[in-house]
Amino acid sequence: MGKSILNRLIVVSNRVNVPDIVQGKATGGLVVAIEEALADQGGVWFGWSGKTNTDGEFRKNTQTKNNVDYITVDMPDSIFDDFYGGFCNSLIWPIFHYQIGLADFSTENFVAYREVNQRFASILSSHILPEDIVWVQDYHFISMARELRKFNCTNLIGFFLHIPWPAREVLLALPEHKNLVSDLLEYDLIGFQTKSHVIAFMDYVVRELDGVIGDNGTVYALGKTSRVKHFPVSIDANAFVNEAKEAEDSMDVQRLLKSLGSRKLMIGVDRLDYTKGIVNRFEAFELFLEGLFETAEAPTFMQISPVSRGNLAQYQEIRQVLEKKAGQINGKYSDFDWTPVRYLNTGFDRKVLAGFFRNSSVGLVTPLRDGMNLVAKEYVASQSSEDPGVLVLSQFAGAAEEMDGAVLVNPYNTNEISKAIKDSIEMPKIEKMDRWFGMMQRLQIQDIKYWKNKFLQTLKNKNKGEFF
């Protein structure tokens, strides 16, 4: 298709995948999808540089490659902590993940949040052309459309939330909930991960704002009109298939297999975060070892959890708890030739992880709450069609709406998880293959490109009265 019928795309996200001139970098499916869209349409990728400064300036950096401008902004130290560590990660993150008790309700943090959105919008506005389409990613920039409209931006602006949208009763704990939802309603299209997130948002709009829900997800409230729809984010499934196959003979995978001996592997891969249910997962494995699997060799459980937000107290605490629990389990059940829990705070290349997934009998994905959880999809895509592993999945992960071949569990119920581990290990091969096949078919059809195209198509057709 010629460029003449395409509008430039402006992508706004917290972090920007600025091209590495020296050497290419391994990237996830979302990054690949965004890069593909920008390459097709031309445009701008805009966001935080990952850097702060002490001189109080919002400093712009620009790099151009092919027909894409990569624009990043350095933030002042004086506001960064209140914006990022404060409002984003100590208030929005816990509340949207139903962890109200861990939230920091400092009032000055919302002021910082709005200011960052305003300053970023001020910089971005000068780069937006009349026919451009703007696509904002995630909770860091909910107020971006509101601020861009102040600069007379009449462009189509879409927003996609990668984390959960909470139930109305939970959202009410957020002091600035009405202001935040009002900001969201400035978008032409609001995308969520699941149908339940859409329902929760609409319930809030109707009951708290006296809004009206029209046809095809149209929302009327506060004198504004938006459209709301779920767009389940996905992965490049075929890429994972290829990477998992290629990793089979890699040194890392061969070392892993050699170390396991005759034992099966059970794996969990999560960023170190209190929302991921890792403590409950360890406790469930301990229950399993206590008596649910006495007649055969127990599997080795490898939990990979790279450290994130390590400067926040909640994350330091969860790390200490997990280290203690792993030590307790290993101290109680280890033998001279076997360690039950391998707990690693190291990150691994995507290809290596795909190889690990492929050689594991059980994948444990049990977050307490998650927008989607792409690890669940990556695990399924990495499996061998001849002898696939079993996905044990939290019923509170967004992926549970799609991954109907998974063994669903309540992540708070350690007895239930323990039983799911036993059932998965003992599951007949024919059942494993049947469960896996349906999930894999869906992943190959509704992949990351499907998600990207569906969202942008829906946004572009808003003015035509069409809604997909």
List active site positions. Answer: 162, 370
Q: What is the DSSP letter of 261?
A: T
Tally Cβ neighbours within 10 Å of residue 309.
Answer: 16
Tally Cβ neighbours within 10 Å of residue 28.
Answer: 14
Span between the terminal Cα atoms of the chain, in Å:
21
Q: C-alpha distances in angstroms, 289 versus 179, 284, 293, 365, 369? A: 49, 9, 6, 19, 26
Q: Which of 45, 43, 44, 40 is nearest to 2 (CA)?
A: 40
How far is the C-alpha of 350 from the C-alpha of 32, rounded, in Å?
13
Q: What is the DSSP letter of 18?
A: -
Tokens linked to 102: 């861990």
Q: Which of 304, 267, 269 is nearest to 285 (CA)?
A: 267
How far is the C-alpha of 130 from the C-alpha of 260, rounded, in Å?
59
Dihedral Cα 454, 457, 462, 468, nearest 10 deg: -40
* Contact indicator for 388, 405 with CB cutoff of 8 Å: no
Interior CA angle at 152 toward 183 and 69, to 5°? 90
How far is the C-alpha of 422 from the C-alpha of 350, rounded, in Å?
28
